[in-house]
A and B are shown apart, each in its own frame.
Chain A
Amino acid sequence: MTDHTSTHRVWRVGADIDTDALAPGAYMKFGIDEIARHCLQRVRPEFAAQVQPGDVLVAGPNFGIGSSREQAAAALVRLGVAAVIAPSFNGLYFRNAFNVGLLLLTCPQAESLADGERITFDATAGRVVREQGGAHSELHCETVPAFLMDMVRAGGLLNLLKQRQTS
């Protein structure tokens, strides 16, 4: 997702954010709306109610450790989160995120971003641009393979499969 035009507000969380924090087990029997309402409530209780579409989540290392439950990624999509930016992701979470249309950016310096600051990013070029007081600075990220960007653009694997059926 190339996005130079709009800026994104940063929500900061720490390292080792697990799938129980993102999609608590007690709500797993319900649909994604209910799970999303409790997303990250243990870590940032105000997050689910206050996050705005287009905001980004910036985390420490090992984001998404734990379960295979893709609701842990889908809840962020439902809340309108534009991307998660972290130094590293759990591998299974990484696959799930793209499969449900959530963009993940692997940035070694992600933790230098501050809560509430505004950024832009270019996933294809692999960069995050800080917009602090008119001064620009860039963070480098791993570039996302083209076939995964296709998945994000389509809004996930299900939509991609549908598109391929009709094309």
Chain B
Amino acid sequence: MSASNAHQPQTHQPQTLAQKLIAAACGRPAVDEGEIVTCAVDLAMFHDSSGPRRLQPMLEELGASLWDPAKIVLVIDHYVPESDDESRRIVRIARDWAAGQQLPNVYDSVGICHVVVPQHGHIRPGMFCVGGDSHSPTGGAFGAYMFGIGSTEMLGVAVTGQIWVKVPRTLMMRWGGRLAAGVTAKDMMLHMIGRYGMNGGRYQAVEFCGEAVRALSMQERMTLSNMSAELGSQVGLIAPDDTTAAYLRQAGVTAELDLARWQSDAGADAEWRDFDAASLAPQVAAPHSPANARDVDEYPDVPLQVAYIGACTGAKLDDLRAAATVLRGRKLAAGMRLMVAPASLQDQQLADEDGVMQVLRDAGAEVLATSCGACAGYGGSIPDGATVISTTARNFKGRMGSETAQVYLASPYTVAASAVAGRIADPREFMA
């Protein structure tokens, strides 16, 4: 469970951002790649599915209490809105437990954890965080070392406040140039997963850098870090900058932000991979793997019945705006369904204020609850036998609840364009 932090590197080589974050969390000036160290956790996030219903019985069995309730954030997002008795039971456990533990940070039915937690300023540069969900690397977009763990390991954190980590190698994904209009972080990520596969990250640290990454908004950066899970890396880091600071100030963070410290040193040992953002086409991943990503024009004739804009990966404010850019003044193709499940209430409200939600509704979209919804196949499943295009992160067989559905993954632009066309379509043809 825990490992010794006794080893001290002889010399302080230039450190990657990942190494700096781990060194700070284990109380050392520097760490070497491959070392196993025990780190102090600054923030532990979990939700109704991975959290209280699993943790409470184990805590009782141990007779243990939480190491620090102030460092825990609970988000109720998986089994809401409650659709049956089992869901009601799971959500009730979460609410009762949160009340009993007097947790100061609980977000109930206001959106998906990976979006809600940053929106409330909980994740800041330099932090070491864990989440009870595989898309927890989303927090890496803020220059924090954040990764997903299971419920039993979360129990260990909840009781001790510590967790072991093997210092990873850093894979530097350097994106030069600028993305074309209608091409997004989702396309960048699908391209990388298509090229390197779902274990291309080898559970090491990925750091996204380069001009195209610097130019991305925070929510777009979150999409990159989020899908590090599908690349198979432990974390997906982005060094903080003025864009990060501006987002956090807006989220109400008043603490000092040390942007200069949380950067990879020049000359730090890493594997470099170079990409050209300007020449990237919209990407689509065919069933049943995100690794089946190819340029959109390689899908000339794929008729669709359902388009889904949802999830932490693909229904943040920037994603909803992207879809509206395509859907403004247009209607869904005949026989097509478009389901929109905004990633958070805050995103939905902002999209309401600037008319984006109305554009989506006018085009024929059904607006669903701001929760994980059909992405995880937990509820609100997509229809059997349907061919679906989705902004979500995964298209494993059965993932969205139907074993017979064929799910294609794409950006919000591409999903919106495809909803209008009734087949997989290139959004650039819809953007004059």
CB of A111 within 8 Å of the partner chain: no
With beta carbons under 8 angstroms apart, the residue of A29, A92, A165 that contacts B62 is A165
Interface residues of B in 136-184 (CB under 8 A from A): 136, 147-153, 155-156, 159, 164
Interface residue count on the B side (C-beta < 8 Å) = 53
B401 partner residues in chain A, CB cutoff 8 A: 25-26
With beta carbons under 8 angstroms apart, the residue of B63, B150, B197, B377 that contacts A62 is B197
The answer to whether A68 and B134 touch across the interface, beta carbons within 8 angstroms, is yes
With beta carbons under 8 angstroms apart, the residue of A29, A94, A147 that contacts B378 is A29
The answer to whether B149 and A92 touch across the interface, beta carbons within 8 angstroms, is yes
What is the minimal beta-carbon distance from B65 to any residue of chain A, in angstroms?
13
The answer to whether B155 and A157 touch across the interface, beta carbons within 8 angstroms, is yes
CB of B255 within 8 Å of the partner chain: no
B303 partner residues in chain A, CB cutoff 8 A: none
What is the minimal beta-carbon distance from A148 to any residue of chain B, in angstroms?
9
The answer to whether B377 and A25 touch across the interface, beta carbons within 8 angstroms, is yes
Residue pairs across A and B with CB atoms within 8 Å: the count is 130
Q: Which of B262-270, B344-352, B359-367, B391-399 binds A?
A: B391-399
The answer to whether A157 and B61 touch across the interface, beta carbons within 8 angstroms, is no
What is the minimal beta-carbon distance from B76 to any residue of chain A, in angstroms?
14
B220 partner residues in chain A, CB cutoff 8 A: none
CB of B199 within 8 Å of the partner chain: yes
CB of B1 within 8 Å of the partner chain: yes
What is the minimal beta-carbon distance from B327 to any residue of chain A, in angstroms?
29
The answer to whether B199 and A100 touch across the interface, beta carbons within 8 angstroms, is no
The answer to whether A20 and B136 touch across the interface, beta carbons within 8 angstroms, is no
Kindly name the residue among B90, B136, B156 whose own CB sees the greatest number of chain A CB atoms within 10 A: B156
The answer to whether B150 and A96 touch across the interface, beta carbons within 8 angstroms, is yes
B63 partner residues in chain A, CB cutoff 8 A: 165
Chief secondary structure at chain B's binding surface = loop
The answer to whether A65 and B232 touch across the interface, beta carbons within 8 angstroms, is yes
With beta carbons under 8 angstroms apart, the residue of B64, B86, B148, B399 that contacts A25 is B399
The answer to whether B399 and A68 touch across the interface, beta carbons within 8 angstroms, is no
The answer to whether B149 and A90 touch across the interface, beta carbons within 8 angstroms, is no
What is the minimal beta-carbon distance from A86 to any residue of chain B, in angstroms?
11
The answer to whether A158 and B61 touch across the interface, beta carbons within 8 angstroms, is yes
**What are the interface flags for A140-167 relative to B under an 8 Å C-beta threshold, 1 for contact and 0 otherwise?**
0000010100010000111011100100
With beta carbons under 8 angstroms apart, the residue of A88, A147, A158 that contacts B152 is A158
With beta carbons under 8 angstroms apart, the residue of A21, A61, A70, A145 that contacts B150 is A70
With beta carbons under 8 angstroms apart, the residue of A20, A26, A88, A96 that contacts B199 is A88
What is the minimal beta-carbon distance from B34 to any residue of chain A, in angstroms?
12
In the bound complex, CA of A24 to CA of B131 (Å):
21
Chain A, residue nearest B147 (CB): A92
The answer to whether B399 and A91 touch across the interface, beta carbons within 8 angstroms, is no
What is the minimal beta-carbon distance from B204 to any residue of chain A, in angstroms?
9
CB of B79 within 8 Å of the partner chain: yes
Chain B, residue nearest A73 (CB): B150
The answer to whether A29 and B156 touch across the interface, beta carbons within 8 angstroms, is no
The answer to whether B155 and A158 touch across the interface, beta carbons within 8 angstroms, is yes
The answer to whether B61 and A162 touch across the interface, beta carbons within 8 angstroms, is yes
In the bound complex, CA of A92 to CA of B228 (Å):
12
CB of A131 within 8 Å of the partner chain: no
The answer to whether A67 and B134 touch across the interface, beta carbons within 8 angstroms, is yes
A30 partner residues in chain B, CB cutoff 8 A: 86
Extra 12 A-B pairs, beta carbons < 8 Å, given A68-B134, A96-B149, A157-B153: A18-B396, A21-B396, A24-B398, A25-B399, A68-B50, A73-B150, A95-B150, A96-B153, A100-B152, A157-B156, A158-B62, A158-B155
B interface residue numbers (CB < 8 A to A): 1-3, 36, 49-50, 58, 61-64, 79, 84, 86-87, 90, 131-134, 136, 147-153, 155-156, 159, 164, 197-199, 202-203, 229, 232-234, 289, 376-378, 381, 394, 396-399, 401, 403
18 CB < 8 A contacts A-B: A18-B394, A18-B399, A24-B398, A25-B398, A26-B377, A42-B397, A61-B199, A62-B199, A65-B198, A67-B376, A68-B149, A68-B150, A69-B49, A69-B150, A70-B153, A99-B152, A157-B156, A162-B61
Q: Lowest 6 CB-CB distances: which A-B pairs, in order?
A: A91-B203, A70-B150, A25-B377, A96-B150, A68-B134, A29-B86
